[in-house]
């Protein structure tokens, strides 16, 4: 064998011995910590069980707290601060269907009073307006302790152009 091969073998043997010593010292340290912790059970059981309880409480707190960045962002309809005279479009806040319509009524607050189960209620003149129809806001009505719950709108486009009716303010975007 050459001198280089002998030197490499000696280095490999030394590295293996160092690794074994490190592993053995880690095992000894862990064993010493465990044995001292268990001896604490015999000497001072209050401290022993208190430390176990403290670690358990910390684990529970860490699991339940989470992080600020890990919370899901909840998005949904937002009630805009509508301004009288401005132009907006109708968009149903509660519908995911793009062909859904927005219900317009003659008196604010009567939206819940209608039963749309009859065909004539669904095909009434200018009662169900397609989403995306441009409207202008004319006035507001308060309901249920909230301001600007309903908005009186004038339809600016389509077959119902010029008609005025009331809609939920959240449906005016």
Report residue 19 as tokens.
């690794």
Query: For the residues 152-163, what does the mean pLDDT come to?
Result: 91
- The CATH class given to the 87-171 domain equals mainly beta
Q: What pLDDT was estimated at residue 153?
A: 94
- Please calculate the CA angle 29-33-36 and round it to the nearest 5 degrees: 135
Q: Are 80 and 172 in contact (CB under 8 A)?
A: yes
Backbone angles phi, psi at 140, to 5 degrees: -125, 160
106 vs 15, higher pLDDT? 106
Q: Look at the chain and count its residues.
A: 173
Q: Are 164 and 79 in contact (CB under 8 A)?
A: no
39 vs 154, higher pLDDT? 154
User: How far, in Å, CA of 126 to CA of 117, rounded?
Assistant: 17
Question: Could you state, in order of their start, the residue ranges of all structural domains in the chain?
Answer: 3-70, 87-171
- pLDDT surpasses 80 at 56: yes
Helices (runs of H) and strands (runs of E) counted in the chain? 3, 6
Measured CA to CA in angstroms, residue 3 lies from 7, 10, 111 at distances of 6, 11, 96
Strands 87-89 and 146-155: unpaired
Q: At 92, is the pLDDT very low, low, confident or very high (cuts 50, 70, 90)?
A: confident
Tell me the per-residue pLDDT of 11-29, one tens digit each, with 9 for 90 and over: 666 667 766 777 778 788 8
Q: What pLDDT was estimated at residue 101?
A: 86
- pLDDT surpasses 90 at 57: yes
* Mean pLDDT of all residues belonging to the chain: 80
- pLDDT surpasses 70 at 74: no
pTM: 0.52
Strands 134-143 and 164-168: unpaired
**Helix, strand, or coil (residue 109):** coil
């Amino acid at each position: 064998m050459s001198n280089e091969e002998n030197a490499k073998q000696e280095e490999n043997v030394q590295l293996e011995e160092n690794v074994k010593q490190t592993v053995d010292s880690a095992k000894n340290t862990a064993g010493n910590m465990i044995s001292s912790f268990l001896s604490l059970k015999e000497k001072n059981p209050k401290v022993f069980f208190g430390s176990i309880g403290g670690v358990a409480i910390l684990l529970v707190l860490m699991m339940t707290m989470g992080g600020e960045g890990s919370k899901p962002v909840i998005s949904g309809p937002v009630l805009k601060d509508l301004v009288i005279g401005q132009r907006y479009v109708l968009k149903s806040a509660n519908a995911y269907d793009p062909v859904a319509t927005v219900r317009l009524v003659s008196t604010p607050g009567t939206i819940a009073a209608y039963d749309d189960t009859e065909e004539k209620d669904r095909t009434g003149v200018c009662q169900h307006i397609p989403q995306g129809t441009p409207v202008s806001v004319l006035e507001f009505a308060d309901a249920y302790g909230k301001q600007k719950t309903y908005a009186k709108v004038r339809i600016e486009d389509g077959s119902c152009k010029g008609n005025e009716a009331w809609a939920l303010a959240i449906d005016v975007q």
